[in-house]
Amino acid sequence: MSTLDEIERLKEQIQEKIGHAPTLDVLDKERVDLLGRKGALTALLRGLGNLDPEERAVIGKAANEIRAAAEALLEERKGELSAQALDQKLAAGRLDVTLPGRVTPLGAQHLISRIRDEIIDVFAGIGYSVAEGPEVELEFFNFTALNHSIQHPARSASDTFYLHDLSGDTHAGSEPSEVVLRTHTSPVQVRTMQHEEPPIYILAPGKVYRRDAADPTHLPQFTQMEGLVVDRDITFADLRGTLDYFVKEMFGKDRKTRFRPHFFPFTEPSAEVDVSCGICDGSGCRFCGNAGWIEILGCGMVDPEVFKHSGIDPNVYTGFAFGMGVDRIAALRYDIPDIRILIDGDMRFLRQF
Ligand code: DAH
């Protein structure tokens, strides 16, 4: 092949390989192969020395033109490929700032827990602290120490969940002791008095269990709040003043309380407390069953028998106790007609609070 033919072929190769290099990497490789120190064009120029002067001038000129054209083509292709690479990078990293943000659903406190904490806040403000006891409780603390006779109907297996028969075991002398799911928070009174010296001012919130079928006003598991005060010279007047204060803090300054005589085994005297109906203000309406009042809790002066089981000297100390249903208070606050909805877990209902 003549040298001119070789130059012609090289020209075509440059057009093809540099002009159509698919990527910047391939382009660089072609540059080395064609124009580099060991490349085709350099080899050709090296051979010029063997040619006669006339031919050398013609071929040399042609070769230099090729080099200049190749370098221009190289720059052009490089520019094209760089622009393409930048476009690709921009497209890949594109952000659509008009897309709506992603919403992460936030959890919140359950209504029952919130009301529980509100009640605690009211009493914490007048010096009460929180005490706790087990939900799986000895029959002794749940009934016996709270002065329930052996025949008391609440002890029956149709009212109370019995877990474990420990009969044979004895507690407090001769009483056979079984394990129950506590039916109220009152056993925390006894546990606290056994471990603490008066003055005692405590609240005991927690879950309780009863063998009740769920209906609009009952649940087999619900939440109670117990209160206990033991100190010198505590009277029924202290109990009335305390609960009156609580009702006004919880339901509003215009609400009144009414104490009705009642019976509880562990308090003497005992009372049930009603709050004036917030809908009719005491005149009677459908919400309060035309009574004008709504029952919210039980209370009374701690029975000396309970003090004896708890290691407190009834000749030195007196005290009062009260117990309320937190679910019931929540239902009253928000006019909820059926408390089963509180534990259904229906978010459409719960989100309202
Ligand atoms: N333990 C009672 C119940 O579950 C409520 C109660 C009544 C608690 C009177 C008390 C009280 O502390 O003095 O029905």
Could you read off the pLDDT tens digit of each residue along the chain, which spans 353 residues? 677 788 888 888 888 888 898 888 988 898 888 888 888 888 877 877 787 888 888 888 888 888 888 888 899 989 988 998 888 888 888 888 898 999 998 888 999 999 999 999 999 999 999 999 999 999 999 999 999 999 999 999 999 999 876 555 544 444 556 999 999 999 999 999 999 999 999 999 999 999 999 998 899 999 999 999 999 999 999 999 999 999 999 999 999 999 999 999 999 999 999 999 988 988 999 888 899 999 999 999 999 999 999 999 999 999 999 999 999 999 988 888 899 999 998 989 988 88
Pocket of ligand 1 (CB under 6 A): 184, 186, 226, 264, 267, 298-300, 321-323
The structure tokens 């092949």 sit at: 1
CA 136 from centroid of its chain's CA atoms: 26
Check: CB of residue 258 under 8 Å from CB of residue 274.
yes
Cα of 44 from ligand 1 centre, angstroms:
110
Site to substitute for ligand 1 among 152, 221, 299, most atoms within 8 A of C-beta: 299
- The number of the ligand 1 atom at minimal distance from the alpha carbon of 300 is 13
Half-sphere exposure of 108 (CA within 13 A, CB side): 13
Residue nearest to atom 8 of ligand 1 (CA): 323
pTM (two decimals)? 0.71
Integer-rounded Cα Rg, in Å, for the chain is 45
Cα of 165 from ligand 1 centre, angstroms:
26
CATH hierarchy code of domain 111-350: 3.30.930.10
